[in-house]
A and B are shown apart, each in its own frame.
Chain A
Amino acid sequence: MSLWKRLLIRYGSFFVTLLLLSGLFFFLGHIVLKGGNTLSPALLFGEVAPMDALLFKERVFEGLFPAICGTLCLVLLSVTLALPAGVLTGIWLSHFARGRAKRTLTLCVDTLAGVPSIVVGLFGFSFAILLHTLTKGRIGPCLLIAALTLAVLVMPGIIRTTEVALSTIDRGTRLRVSAMGATPVQAIFHVYLPMAASGIFRGGVLALGRCAEDTAAIMLTGVVVTAGVPYALFGRFEALPFAIFTIASEYTGPEELARGYGAALILLILCGGLFGLSACIACRFRSIKR
C-alpha cells in the first residue's frame, strides 16, 4: 500500500472522528451552557411554592413540573406494559421457536424495530379512533393509549436484549439443568431467567430512555401543551420532549426560551443518566461473568 493511501486512511478516519465528536460537543455544549443557568426551583415550579406543587395542592402553570410528572408516568407505564410481553416473546424466540415460525417472528421484530415512531403513533391514533367509536366518544387519545403506543415502540428492543441475554447462558449450565431433570419451563423460569436478569433489566432501562425521548409517537396520541399533572389514565397529559418541541417552534419571549433550554438539559440529563445506568449494569454483568 502506498504511503499516500495509508496516510489518507489514517488521517481521514481521525478527521471524521473528530468531526463527529465536535458536532456532538457543539450541539450538546450549547444546551449545557445555556441550560445550566436556568436550573432553579422556579424552572420546575414557576411561582408556586415547591412543597405545594409536590403535594399537588396547587397547579403549576409556568414550570416544567407537570411535564416531568407526565413523562415519568408515561415512561413507567409503557415499560410496565412492554416488559412482560417483550420478555416472554424473547423467551419464546430463544427456547420454543422452531423453523418457519421463528423466521417469521424475527422478521416481525426486525420490521417493528425499524418502523418510524410517527407511524407507530399513527397506529396508536387509529386505535384511539376505534376506541372512540366503540365507547361512543368517551375515550379518545389519552395517557394510556400513548403508553401503549410507546410500549409497541420499545418492545423490539426488549425482545432482542432478552433473547441475547438468554443465548449467552453457557452449554454447561444447560446440560446440568436438564441432567437434574428440570422441564424446559422449569429450567427457563427458575434458572435461565434469573441468570439473564441483569441483561433483561438493562434492556428495560434502555427502553425507559427510549420512551422518555420519543416525541413523534406521543404527539399523535394525546400529549398537549397544558394539562397539569396527569390525573387519570384516560386524561390528556404533558411531556418533557413535547414541551421542548413546542417551545422551539412557538416561544414568545426570552423567559419561555430559557425554560426550553432548561427542559432540554433536564431531558438530556435524564436520558444520559439512564444510559449510564444501563452501561453500569452491563459492566457489572461482565465482571461477574469473569
Chain B
Amino acid sequence: MGEGAATMAAGITFGVTLAIFGFMGWLALPLLEGETLSTLFTSVWNPQGGHFGIRPMIWGTLAVALPATLIAFPVSVGFACVATHLAPSWARRPLKGIAGFMTGIPTVVYGFSAVFTLVPLIRRMAGQGSGFSILGAAMVLALLISPTMILILINAFETTPQIWLREFEAMGATPEETVWYLIFPVTTPAMVSAFLLGLGRATGDTLIALMLAGNAVLTPTSPLEPARTLTAHIALVMAADFESPEFRSIFACGILLYLIIFGLTLMVRYLTRRPCP
C-alpha cells in the first residue's frame, strides 16, 4: 500500500509536468487555424489590427536575461571563490549564510525597492527617458539570480577531493593558484551548468522585468530603452478576455518559455551526469 501511494504520487508529478505543457497546447491550438499563426513570429504587436507578433518580446527577453546572467556569472564565481577558498576561514560560513539568505528574499521586494531608488538614479544619469530600462532590470535581475548560481558553485567547489587540495597545498600553491589551476578546470561542467540555470531563472523571472523594464513593445536597441519580456507580456495581456486571439497568443509565449527551460534542463543534465566508468 505504501509503495502504491508513492508510485501514485510519482505519477501525479509526472502527469503535472506533462499537463502544464498539454493545457497550454490545448489553449494555443486555435492559433493553428486562421491567420494568427502567420503573424505570430513577426515583429508587429497590434491586437486591434490582427497582428500578434511576439518577436519584440523574444528580443526583449534576450536583452534583459542575457546581460543579467553575464553580470551575475563573474560575480557569483568571485563570491564562491571567496566563500570557499580566499576568505579567512572565520568569514566563510557567514558568507555562505548570506548567499543562502539571499535566495529567500522576495522578488517583489527587490522590484519595489528598485522602482524608488535605481530607476530615478538611471533617469538622472541618462538625462532622458523614464528610467525604466533594460539596464535597471538587468542589474536587479543579476542580483536576484546570483545566489542561485553561488550555491551551485559553492557546492561544486566543495566537492573537489580533499586529497587534491592537500597535494596542492603541499606543493606550495597559493589559494589563488589552487583556484585557478585546480578548482576551475575540475568544476568547469558545474560552472557551465550554473550559468545555464542562472540564465533559466533570468528568463523565467516575471516581476523584475514587469516592474523595471518599462514594458514597451519595441525591439530594443540600447540599454537605456525599455523592453518587454515574454513573461511580462503574459502578465500584461492576461487582462484581456479569454476568447480573443490575443489571449490565445500568450499561450504560445508560455510554450516557448517552457521549451526554453526544458532545453536548458536537458543541457544541464548532460553536463552534470556522472561519467560512465
B-binding residues in A (CB < 8 A): 1, 5-6, 9-10, 12-17, 19-21, 23-24, 26-28, 30-31, 34, 84-89, 91-93, 95-97, 104-105, 107-112, 114-120, 122-123, 125-127, 129-130, 152, 155, 159, 184-185, 188-189, 206, 209, 212-213, 215-216, 219-220, 241, 244-245, 247-249, 260-261, 264, 267-268, 271-272, 274-275, 279
Contact = CB atoms under 8 A, between A and B. Distances in A.
A118 B234 contact: yes
A245 B23 contact: no
B95 A17 contact: yes
Contacts of B201: 114
B107 interface: yes
Which 10 pairs between the two chains have the least Cβ-Cβ distance? A116-B204, A88-B9, A213-B106, A16-B78, A185-B2, A275-B104, A216-B206, A92-B6, A13-B78, A126-B23
- The secondary-structure label for the interface of chain A is helix
A118 B14 contact: no
A120 B234 CA distance: 12
B269 A88 contact: no
Contacts of A87: 9
B41 interface: no
Contacts of A279: 97, 100-101
A107 to B, nearest CB: 7
Nearest to B201: A114
A89 to B, nearest CB: 5
Q: Classify the interface of chain B: helix, strand, loop or mixed.
A: helix
> Which of A130, A248, A260: most chain B CB closer than 10 A?
A248
Interface residues of B, number: 87
Nearest to B179: A9
A243 to B, nearest CB: 9
Nearest to B4: A185
B258 interface: yes
B104 to A, nearest CB: 4
B204 A268 contact: no
Given A116-B206, A123-B24, A245-B207, A84 B115 contact: no
A14 B82 contact: yes
B75 A20 contact: yes
Nearest to A219: B235
B203 interface: yes
Contacts of A261: 112
A70 to B, nearest CB: 15
29 contacts: A1-B174, A5-B176, A9-B86, A13-B79, A16-B75, A16-B78, A16-B79, A20-B143, A23-B143, A24-B98, A24-B143, A34-B116, A87-B9, A89-B12, A91-B9, A96-B7, A111-B265, A118-B254, A119-B204, A120-B20, A122-B234, A123-B23, A213-B106, A213-B107, A213-B109, A215-B107, A267-B109, A272-B105, A275-B104
A119 B254 contact: yes
A267 B24 CA distance: 31
A215 B250 CA distance: 18
B117 interface: yes
Given A16-B79, A213-B104, A213-B108, 5 more contacts: A89-B10, A108-B13, A114-B264, A155-B13, A219-B235
A126 B254 CA distance: 12
A137 to B, nearest CB: 13
Contact of A1 (B97, B106, B115, B176): B176
A5 B20 CA distance: 49
A264 B265 CA distance: 32
Contacts of B3: 96, 184-185
B261 A105 contact: no
Interface string B173-215: 0111101110000000000000001001101111100110000
Give the residue among B6, B211, B242 with the most A Cβ atoms within 10 A: B6
B143 A114 contact: no
B156 interface: no
B162 interface: no
Contacts of A248: 111-112, 115-116, 211
Nearest to B266: A107
A84 B9 contact: yes
B165 interface: no
Contacts of B1: 185
A116 B203 contact: yes
